[in-house]
Structure 1
Amino acid sequence: MNATVRIPHGEQTIKVELTVKEAMALMGQRFHEHPSLKSDARRKVAEQIDRLYGIE
């Protein structure tokens, strides 16, 4: 069964400041010396969405 997901403001853009390493981690690059890099970057994105739209 396929359900349609509707996301309010889904076509609007947001700006999130990430380091190059954080952006690379979101793309799948692994940084063994800093394993929390990906989760830190995801947290920044989630916080910005929550700050702008109150969506978690």
Structure 2
Amino acid sequence: MDRLPEAELRPALELIRGRLDKHEGAERDLPFVASFEAEPDLAERHEEILRSEWGR
């Protein structure tokens, strides 16, 4: 982008800024934060674990 003339970037910048204006003031509600310890292979086994929990 640094190598493009500003005139060529202007339409893209206006599009991006227009989208930002729509979302200005919008807040994200993140209802929780979690931290935990697990087995080292948890990431590798996540599908297996989820399948077994959904089957309960």
Which TM-score applies when normalising by structure 2? 0.31
Higher helix share: 2
Higher Cα Rg: structure 1 or 2? 2
